[in-house]
Amino acid sequence: MCPKVTSQHREEIRVRILHSAVECFSKNGFDRTRMDEISLSADVSKGTLYNYFNSKEELFHALCDDSLELLKIQLDTLFTSSKNDLISNAELFYENFQKIQKEGTALVFFEALSESTRNPKLQKILIKHRLKIFKVVENYLQLQIDKGFLKEDSSLEYLAAGLVSLFDGITAGSLLGIPEDFNKKIWAVTIRTILSKLE
C-alpha cells in the first residue's frame, strides 16, 4: 500500500524542483540544461520530475507564475499606505524586488529571453508573462488613481509597460556589474520624476 502524499509534501517537492531549475538554468543556460540534471539537483527521480513538469518550457512557465505572485505580494505591501509614502514606497520596491531576484531568477529570465529567439514555445511563454506583468502594474497604478494619490492618466497601460521596462533595464545593468547604489539611484530619481508628474 502506497503512503498518501499530502498537498504540503507535493508543494515542497515542486518548490525544490523549481529551485533546482533556477540553479541549473543559471549555471548551464536554458538550452544546455537537461531535465535529468534538474532531477538530480532536486534529488528526485526523473519520473517524479515528469509528474510535475513535462518539459523545461513548462518548468520555466511555473517560474514565471511564481515570479508574478511575488510581484503582486511586493506591490500589495508597498502600495497600501498613505499618499505621502507613495514615492518612497515605489523607491523601496526596487530594493525589495531585487532581493527576490538575487536568488538567480533575474539571470534565468535574461537567459530565457536570449534563448526565446530560437525557441518559439519559450518566446510565447515570455510574451504572455510580460503582458501579465504589464497588467498587474497597470492595476496597481489604477488603484493609486482610485485612492486619489495619482491623477487620472489615459496612457496608464504604456506607463505600466515603461516602468516594467525601466526595472528590467536596470536589472540588466546590475547583471553586467553596474554598482547597486547607482542602480538604486536610477530607479529612485526616475520614479520620483514620473510619479511627481502624476500627483
Structural domains of the chain, ranges and CATH numbers in brackets: 1-54 (1.10.10.60), 56-198 (1.10.357.10)
What region does 127 belong to: left with phi over 0, alpha with psi -120 to 50, or beta? alpha
Enumerate helices (H) and strands (E) in the chain, giving the number of each. Answer: 9, 0
Residue 113 · residue 126 · CB < 8 Å: yes
pLDDT at 83: 54
pLDDT at 169: 93
pLDDT at 65: 92
pLDDT at 70: 85
pLDDT at 61: 95
How far is 70 from 42, CA to CA, in rounded Å? 22
pLDDT at 147: 81
CB atoms within 10 A of CB 122: 21
Query: For the chain, how long is the longest CA-to-CA vector?
Result: 66
- Written as tens digits, the pLDDT of the chain (199 aa) is 455 568 888 999 999 999 999 999 989 989 999 999 999 999 999 999 999 999 999 999 999 998 888 888 888 877 665 555 667 777 777 877 777 665 678 889 998 999 999 999 999 999 999 999 999 999 988 888 888 877 787 788 999 999 999 999 998 998 899 998 999 899 989 988 887 777 6
pLDDT at 141: 85
pLDDT at 127: 95
